[in-house]
Amino acid sequence: MAIHAQSRVFGGEFRWVGEHWVCALKGEGEAETARVSLYDTHASPAGEGVVAYVSIRGGGGPTLAGVFTDNRALAAWVHGAWGGGRGAPFGRSPPVADARLARGDRSGGGRSWTIRAPNVDLQVTWRRFDPPVVSYRGDRPEVYARRSLFNVLLFAREADIRSNGERVDGAPYADDRWRPVIGGGDRSSCVVALAETFITPE
């Protein structure tokens, strides 16, 4: 006997779907030494492409800070939608540069991205993932109006950033911002959000 299943169809305005890759590192102190927030966009009002926010800090302040993209219209849309993340860690109006952004080597259980622009060669790698966490907010329109409707979260226990061949100081740290989002304890500051989907409720 055939089984007929009815999917739930959401109304409202489609906003964004893709993968959000975050790599935030700390050294011995409390301040972050580096943060990369990369939006691999599959569909949006500004089309497809990749937008990467990068902040790499040295002892005297930022040594590299900006937005790297292969679609400037998309970069403008992402900044208008999310402003570079909570607390604007990349600044209110970061400089934007054209770049080549590509997935790197997938061997050895790691996942990586390369970001290349004039005088910039970055490799960001995530390793040793915890079991996936599936997050769905379809029954809470007041919540997914502000956060994603759905995603699959891969928290990485290990991660690193190499800038022009040199490893950036720092390692993933326990981040408490995930407690009110998915419950449980602290999670890694380095995470890949797969199939992240945003809509505006009706």
pLDDT more than 70, % of the chain = 89
pLDDT tens-digit map of 9-39? 888 888 999 999 999 999 988 889 999 999 9
Token pair of 179 as six digits = 């407690």
**149 within 8 A of 10, measured Cβ to Cβ:** yes
DSSP assignment letter at 132? P
Strand partners, 62: 57
Tell me the pairing of strands 190-200 and 150-163. antiparallel
| DSSP of 157-178 | EEEEEEETTEEPS-B--EEGGG
Least confident of 61-75, 84-98, 176-190: 84-98
Q: Yes or no: say if 129 and 104 are a contact pair by the CB < 8 Å rule.
A: no
Report the DSSP beta bridge partners of residue 159. Answer: 126
**Annotated domain spans of the chain:** 13-200
Cα distances from 194 to residues 77, 92, 116, 135, 164, in angstroms, run 20, 26, 23, 10, 28
Give the confidence band of 63 by pLDDT, cuts at 50, 70, 90. confident
Asked if 197 contacts 13 with a C-beta cutoff of 8 angstroms, the reply is: no
> Which long-range contacts (C-beta less than 8 Å, at least 24 apart) are formed by 76-83?
76/46, 77/44, 77/45, 77/46, 78/39, 78/41, 78/44, 78/46, 78/51, 81/15, 81/16
pLDDT in tens, 168-184: 999 999 999 888 878 88
Does 89 or 43 have the greater pLDDT score? 43
Confidence of residue 198 (pLDDT cuts 50, 70, 90): confident
Residue 129 near residue 188 (C-beta atoms within 8 A):
no
Cα–Cα distance list, 189 to 30, 159, 174 (Å): 13, 10, 6
> Coil, strand, or helix at residue 193?
strand
Contact between residue 63 and residue 47 where contact means Cβ atoms under 8 Å apart: no
Position 82 confidence tier, pLDDT thresholds 50, 70, 90: confident
Per-residue pLDDT, 5: 65
